[in-house]
Amino acid sequence: MSPTAEAVTIDAAPLAEPAEEPRLMTHAYDGIREYDNPLPGWWRMIFVGTIVFSGFYWLYFHVVGWGASPDDHYRQTVVAYDEKKSLREQADLANVSEESMALKARDPQVVAHGEQVFAQRCASCHGPTGAGLIGPNLTDRYQIHGTSRLDIYRTVRGGAPGTPMLAWGDQLPQVDVVSAAAFVITLRGTNVPGRPPQGAAVGAFSP
């Protein structure tokens, strides 16, 4: 046997197969095999904790009814606001009367402040002179809501539901509401040309 043939025979000896990696999973895709790497223990604990928490959450809010949902909080807040609003309105009305509004309408400082409030808040609907734009003419002898000075104050404070007239008592301090109403009272009978009369004829205010 020639040396060459002997060398070939030695080189052709079968080689040992590499040991199977224990972490390799048995399935393969396109020649790619996947390691079996379990998730960390802390991650699994958090995952299980979220499932347990969701169960308690469901029982607490939707079965037993101990907890309040955001909708419940909103409804409770609205109820509390309406109750406080009613109390504020009663307190404000207790300090306002037909006589007090007549006095306010004769106070130059109150009327001047009311004119400023009117220009900032009311002129966009009633016009700078009160002759009416979207809102009615405030300078004629007609009144849509009520007949008295106190009715004017109530309209300014509480608004007119179903109309663009806002409830300024919810947005302005009481002193601004009273002053604006006092200024509007002084406009009665100035008869600035503007929107045609609306409401009932009421004439001049009594002294």
Decide: 155 and 176 in contact? Cβ < 8 Å: no
For range 48-60, the mean pLDDT:
92
Bigger pLDDT: 91 vs 163: 163
**124-141: per-residue pLDDT in tens?**
999 999 999 999 999 999
Which pTM does this prediction carry?
0.61
**What does residue 90 show for φ and ψ, rounded to 5 degrees?**
-65, -40
pLDDT of residue 67: 73
Q: Which of 100-104, 113-117, 135-139, 203-207 has the lowest mean pLDDT?
A: 203-207
- Among 1.10.760.10, 2.60.40.3080, 3.30.450.20, 2.60.34.10, name the CATH number for the domain at 93-201: 1.10.760.10
Domain range list for the chain = 20-67, 93-201
pLDDT of residue 8: 47
- Of 133, 134, 206, residue with least CA distance to 164: 134
Distance of CA 99 to the CA centre of its chain: 38
Query: What 3-state DSSP class applies to 12?
Result: coil
Decide: 143 and 204 in contact? Cβ < 8 Å: no
**162-192: per-residue pLDDT in tens?**
888 999 988 999 999 999 999 999 999 999 9
**13-28: per-residue pLDDT in tens?**
555 445 556 677 777 7
Computed over every residue of the chain, the mean pLDDT equals 85
Decide: 158 and 169 in contact? Cβ < 8 Å: yes
